[in-house]
Amino acid sequence: MKKWRSRILHLLLFVFAIGLFTVGYLATIKSKNAGYNRKLMDGWNIQINDDLYESVNLNEFKFPVTHKGDWVSFWGQLPNDLPDNVTMRINMVHSATRVILNDKVLFDYGWEDYEKGEMLGFGTRFISIPDGSAGGRLKIIMFVTENNAFNSISYPEIYEESTGYMVYYGKYMVPFVVAITLIAVGLCIALVTFVLYFKSYYMERLFSIGIFALCIGCWTLCNYNLDYIFTDDLIVKTYVEYLALYLLPFPILMYFRQEVEKRDKAWECFFLYTLIIVEVQLLLVAGASQLFKWAHLSDFLPVYLILLIVAVVFVCHLAIADLRHGNTHKVLMIGFGAMIAVALRDLVVYIADRYRVNFPRNAEYRSYISIGALMLVVALLVDFILEMRRTLYKTAETKFLEKIAYEDVLTGLSTRRKCEEMFEEIDKKGFQYIIYQFDLNNLKNTNDDFGHESGDELIVRFANMLRKTFNSGETLGRMGGDEFIVIVTDAYGYNAEEKTKILQAYIDEDNEGNDIKVSTSYGYCASTELKAPTALDVYKEADKRMYKDKEEYYRRTGKNRRRNDTQN
């Protein structure tokens, strides 16, 4: 029944995922035919500082990478058949930007923020075009505010005012769905596991997955310029993108933290914690530098990329090492492989775009790493579930074996082996302690007269009386047959004799109405009574006193050890 429920759940999740991407795909197809859309690529004049380029195609034109202080201007003419009620999309990259239409300023961005020392953002924004602007002269001026800013200009696009957002978002519906899915999954996991993060190894790993999904989702949303439905502030968008990117290695490294500690290799532990410390310091220094305007977040990108590469190589080493030993992480390696393959593709396109290699491209560089990231998050979740299942099976097996070795089957008390291990622990800690030794009277005769089941019942009755008498923190054990032990590990101010009186009261109460009576002889010894004793010495002394009490019992009652009436 459980298998069928599990299969139905998996099927529903699969159908949900397929439905989600189908909606995205249909929205993408629909958006292509949704209203007016015009790409302004041809016929532009461009001036970069003192260099002038005439009649160029923006989709094909490239130039040396711009740096802080460079001026980039490009101008052209709007289409003569431009309808009314339209909006124009432009892309800005770390630049104070001014849009002029027919000698009138239509849009201004970033000039005052730059004077204040702020880091100007990058991304897409929509500008409404006044009605009757067909054939108008359009000029866009950009003042570059960061080094290594851009080496190509994204062509403006014109849409109907009512459908512009739908058309633009429709083109990137798949990464939009991926980003929203990652953010939603990351938030749910992170919020659910946050409270239990420091209490469970499993929660720590699951929390790391949630933070990674949240970071990669936020970065994807910003990288594809799909943030406009949340904020129209490019600076906020840029902060979110950089901080999400800089935080990415941290949850991945934390995912493997306890596993590295279990491997017990000094260099791996040192390397892991070094990477984590460097990652945290980089994030703090970058944040403080941006806050106090010492440097901008973008200035730390080269250092971060080196750190990210090192972290990825180290994590791959950990996963491959486990694969060699036949352990886990097979699914995780598939996820890493997919993400690395997509990242390499993005890197090749980026280098080709940046260094003017003749490579098929769009004017706007786009990363597809979101797809690889989604596959990695899924792989992390599957890897987590598989490892948790293996660990739970192993834990259950270990507990079962421990129960056999350390728990007496009949009474549920500790076995002799467990008590002897407790002796070793006591000797290491050096606390004051007391050891009781108990022995049931007349058990053999009970077995002979009433059968072994009655003898077992007698043993269980006495074990329950011990539980009632002594505290839960004290070790109660059955040393074998009718011999019992109680180890009091914290005996400061402990009244040992008072406990024996309480036990005898329980015995008297239990014997009322029972034909087979419980009777016990006992002895106890405190560690302070002997000179530098071991726990075994104290136990032997308690055992001697117990036998002395037993001799007194038989002398007092006149009963024979071998053959006597079981009635007290």
**For residue 442, is it left (φ>0), alpha (ψ between -120 and 50) or beta?**
left
- Among 451, 518, 529, which residue's Cα sits nearest to residue 484? 518
Tokens in use for 219? 């970065």
Residue 2 placed within a domain: no
Q: Which residue has the higher pLDDT, 368 or 466?
A: 466
pLDDT in the model for residue 104: 93
Work out the pLDDT band at 564, boundaries 50, 70, 90. Answer: very low
Tens of pLDDT, residues 422-464 = 888 888 887 789 999 999 988 888 887 888 888 889 899 999 9
Mark which of 105, 140, 169 sits at the end of a domain. 169
Beta bridge mates, 330: none
Q: Are residues 366 and 242 in the same domain?
A: yes
**Between 234-247 and 266-291, two packed helices, what is the crossing angle to 10 degrees?**
170
CA-CA distances (angstroms) from residue 426 to 41, 419, 430, 489?
83, 10, 6, 7
- Among 495, 478, 468, 407, which residue's Cα sits nearest to residue 439? 478
Q: Are residues 107 and 223 in the same domain?
A: no
Cα–Cα distance between 383 and 393 in angstroms, integer? Answer: 15
Q: Are residues 539 and 424 in the same domain?
A: yes
In this structure, are residues 120 and 147 in contact, taking their beta carbons and an 8 Å threshold? no
Q: Is the pLDDT of residue 29 over 80?
A: no
In this structure, are residues 482 and 443 in contact, taking their beta carbons and an 8 Å threshold? yes
How many helices (H) does the chain have, and how many strands (E)? 17, 14
Query: Of all residues in the chain, what percent carry a pLDDT higher than 70?
Result: 83
Q: What is the CATH number of the domain that holds 84?
A: 2.60.120.260
Q: Are residues 111 and 129 in the same domain?
A: yes
Burial per residue of 293-311, b for 16 or more beta-carbon CB atoms within 10 angstroms, e otherwise? eeebbbbbeeebeebbeeb
Tokens in use for 491? 């005996």
Q: Are residues 434 and 537 in the same domain?
A: yes
Residue 24 placed within a domain: no
Pairing of strands 434-440, 122-129: unpaired
Q: Are residues 164 and 190 in the same domain?
A: no
Q: Which domain holds residue 278?
A: 172-400
Q: Are residues 233 and 373 in the same domain?
A: yes
Q: What is the CATH number of the domain that holds 286?
A: 1.20.1070
Cα–Cα distance between 498 and 91 in angstroms, integer? Answer: 85
Beta bridge mates, 98: 108, 141
In this structure, are residues 68 and 148 in contact, taking their beta carbons and an 8 Å threshold? no
Tokens in use for 254? 């934390």
Residue 104 placed within a domain: yes
Q: What DSSP string describes 462-521?
A: HHHHHHHHS-TTSEEEEEETTEEEEEES--TT--HHHHHHHHHHHHHHHHTT-SSPP-EE
Q: Are residues 101 and 186 in the same domain?
A: no
pLDDT in the model for residue 363: 44
Residue 564 placed within a domain: no
pLDDT in the model for residue 33: 53
Q: What is the mean pLDDT of residues 20-24?
A: 58
Q: Are residues 346 and 474 in the same domain?
A: no
Tokens in use for 374? 């989604």
Work out the pLDDT band at 335, boundaries 50, 70, 90. Answer: confident
Residue 8 placed within a domain: no
Tens of pLDDT, residues 391-415 = 666 776 667 766 677 788 888 888 8
Question: Number of folded domains in the chain?
Answer: 3
Mark which of 376, 400, 424 sits at the end of a domain. 400
In this structure, are residues 63 and 47 in contact, taking their beta carbons and an 8 Å threshold? no
In this structure, are residues 105 and 78 in contact, taking their beta carbons and an 8 Å threshold? no
328-342, 343-357, 422-436, 463-477: segment of lowest average pLDDT:
343-357
Q: Are residues 228 and 363 in the same domain?
A: yes
pLDDT in the model for residue 219: 86
Q: What is the mean pLDDT of residues 247-265?
A: 83
CA-CA distances (angstroms) from residue 190 to 134, 162, 230, 251?
51, 37, 21, 11
Q: What is the CATH number of the domain that holds 475?
A: 3.30.70.270
Cα–Cα distance between 324 and 273 in angstroms, integer? Answer: 24
Of these ranges, 43-47, 314-318, 472-476, the one predicted with the greatest mean pLDDT is 43-47
Cα–Cα distance between 350 and 365 in angstroms, integer? Answer: 7
In this structure, are residues 89 and 125 in contact, taking their beta carbons and an 8 Å threshold? yes
Residue 300 placed within a domain: yes
**Between 369-406 and 416-429, two packed helices, what is the crossing angle to 10 degrees?**
110
Query: Of all residues in the chain, what percent carry a pLDDT higher than 90?
Result: 24
Residue 488 placed within a domain: yes
Q: What is the largest CA-CA distance in the chain?
A: 125
Q: Are residues 150 and 198 in the same domain?
A: no
Vertex 259: Cα angle to 256 and 263 (nearest 5): 130
- Among 93, 148, 145, 70, which residue's Cα sits nearest to residue 115? 145
Mark which of 102, 134, 169 sits at the end of a domain. 169
Cα–Cα distance between 162 and 31 in angstroms, integer? Answer: 12
The structure's pTM equals: 0.61
Q: What is the mean pLDDT of residues 485-514?
A: 88
Tens of pLDDT, residues 99-112 = 999 989 999 999 98
Count of CB atoms situated within 10 Å of the CB of 59: 16
Residue 12 placed within a domain: no
**Between 173-194 and 2-32, two packed helices, what is the crossing angle to 10 degrees?**
140
pLDDT in the model for residue 362: 42
CB-based contacts of 56-61 (< 8 A; 24+ apart in sequence): 58/152, 58/153, 58/154, 58/155, 58/363, 59/155, 59/362, 59/363, 61/152, 61/153
In this structure, are residues 549 and 522 in contact, taking their beta carbons and an 8 Å threshold? yes
CA-CA distances (angstroms) from residue 13 to 20, 329, 373?
10, 23, 19
Q: Are residues 236 and 384 in the same domain?
A: yes
Count of CB atoms situated within 10 Å of the CB of 431: 14
Q: Secondary structure of 54-109 in the HEC alphabet?
A: EEECCCCCCCCCCCCCCEEEEEEECCCCCCCCEEEEEEEECEEEEEEECCEEEEEE
**Mean pLDDT for all residues in the chain:** 81
Q: Which residue has the higher pLDDT, 163 or 241?
A: 241
